[in-house]
Amino acid sequence: MNSPSQIRARGHRLHAALDQVIEQRGWSTPKRRAHQWRTLRSLVQHAHANIPLYQRLFAEAGFTPAMLNDWEDLSKLPILTKAGLRTATRTDLIAQDNQSDIRWLASSGSTGIPACMARTEESLWHYMACNTALYYDWCHGKPLSNGLYLVDMAPDSIDFATADLLRTTVPDSRIFSVHDPVAKLTRELLSIAPEFISSYPSTLRAIALDLRSQNRVIKKTRLIHLTSEMLDAHTRHLLGQVFPNARLIETYTSTEGGLVAWQCMSGSRWHIAETNVLCEIVDDNGLPTTGLGHIVITDLTNTATPILRYRGLGDLASWEPEPCSCGSSARSIRHMEGRSAAMLRTRGGTLISPYVITNAIEEVPGLAQYQVVQKQPGMLEVRVVAETNASHNRIEKGVQTALEAALFNAADLQITFVSKIAAPAGSHKVPLVISELPLAA
């Protein structure tokens, strides 16, 4: 527990970060772009002068900061891959004379490969302030005091770091680890009866399945914040059944990029947190595209391990060019197609979005949980957990019919019934779609 003086000091840091976030929210597009350019150039120069990882990367690409004269030169800056970050040592990732308060963090490995990096305390407070400001928006300025926070409490996770900061405003009794047994989390939720829940989709999905098996409906929950993983239609439908009065809001976050985007309350698009990150959508050659492409980010808030033109999030998306009805001038992503690590392939090699799969089978009766795994093109294994007393024959026929129609028979299906689908070792996340095919870094 923090002492009163520690709480006061933390409060000052949060208020300072909030003041900055609130000021940045009022910036015009030209002012945001100027901030992005100024910060980008400063980070590139810092990385070139001090960070061994980038010194090697820049040298291999023949890049120097002097080559970055305007936005057209951005593609000259080499892209950092997940493998490039993962294989770097700690001494590669920070300046030798770094004097900042830093925390070493590891990504969750949701793309299959965890990576290590350092973040400044200042960047973490900024991340906390951004989420706090969004929370006030979601509550229309009247925050819900009865909250429940389900977070990854692994010591090197960004959630552990932010949970520590969260204790400035939230009591420990409302913060629980996603690694706790589902039965325990269900009991705590029933005991607290929260108006607000912040969680990962897969964690809350497991709780919702437990609650539904008990014929429980939670009517007091009014707002659910989901982050770190994409929310599939099947889980959205389940949460709507168990939490019928709750509005679902998502944020797009990562260890490497902090807050990247948030879901607009006026529609399905995602607004980029442009004062936090510089976001690009590029083709396989690293060049800008107006179509579906790889999300590439530059974190504008963290100087400990700079994240410059990083493609390691593994997500695919496309830009929304039309203005948003909410009035925000921040650039928008039209929709997420999911992680490239979850993209599937037909017999002919055509890519299939994982949402083609999840949307197709969301309404199959008797389906409690599922996971689709691809080990070779044109072949999909569908692992199914059936609801109690549900007919396996009907589920199998329902899944087969739905997927054959969605895929136009472009892949063979193998449906296997299992008792449980667990998260991979070292992770709390249960991916719905997994591709084991080789992918570009």
Phi and psi (nearest 5°) for 406? Answer: -70, -35
pLDDT > 90: what percent of the chain? 56
Mapped onto helix, strand or coil, the DSSP state of residue 116 is: strand
Phi and psi (nearest 5°) for 80? Answer: -95, 130
Q: Which helix (H) or strand (E) holds 124?
A: helix 121-138
Average pLDDT over residues 71-84: 94
DSSP codes joined into one string, 377-438: TTEEEEEEEEPTT--HHHHHHHHHHHHHHHHTT-SEEEEEE-S--PPPTT-S---SEEE-S-
For the record, the structure tokens of 115 come out as: 């990576």
Distance, CA of 286 to CA of 76 (rounded, Å): 9
Residue in the block written with tokens 């949980």: 369
Closest-CA residue to 385 (of 232, 207, 209, 182): 209
Give tens-digit pLDDT for 12-24.
888 999 999 999 9
Instruction: DSSP letter for 330, please.
Output: S
Regarding predicted confidence, which is higher, 301 or 238? 301
Helix 29-50 to helix 52-61 angle (10° resolution) is 100
Instruction: DSSP letter for 349, please.
Output: -
Task: Determine the CATH number of domain 343-435.
Answer: 3.30.70.1350
Give tens-digit pLDDT for 96-151.
888 778 999 987 554 445 679 999 999 999 999 999 999 999 999 898 989 999 99
Distance, CA of 230 to CA of 226 (rounded, Å): 8
Distance, CA of 421 to CA of 404 (rounded, Å): 23
Phi and psi (nearest 5°) for 190? Answer: -65, -35
pLDDT value at 42 more than 50: yes
Give tens-digit pLDDT for 132-145.
999 999 999 898 98
Distance, CA of 217 to CA of 32 (rounded, Å): 44
Distances (CA, A) of 262 to 273, 333, 395: 7, 10, 35
For the record, the structure tokens of 97 come out as: 């004379």
pLDDT for 19 equals: 95
Distances (CA, A) of 8 to 11, 14, 15, 145: 5, 10, 10, 20
How many CB atoms are closer than 10 A to CB 287? 10
pLDDT for 198 equals: 96
pLDDT for 7 equals: 65
Distance, CA of 386 to CA of 393 (rounded, Å): 11
Give tens-digit pLDDT for 327-337.
889 999 976 66
pLDDT for 11 equals: 79
pLDDT for 437 equals: 80
pLDDT for 5 equals: 72
Residue 151, beta-bridge partner list = 177
Instruction: DSSP letter for 77, please.
Output: S
pLDDT > 70: what percent of the chain? 92
- Tell me the average pLDDT of the chain: 88
Give tens-digit pLDDT for 246-278.
999 999 999 999 999 999 988 779 999 999 999
Cut 0.75: pTM above it = yes
Distance, CA of 235 to CA of 271 (rounded, Å): 22
Q: Which helix (H) or strand (E) holds 369?
A: strand 367-376
Phi and psi (nearest 5°) for 141? Answer: 80, 0
pLDDT value at 440 more than 50: no
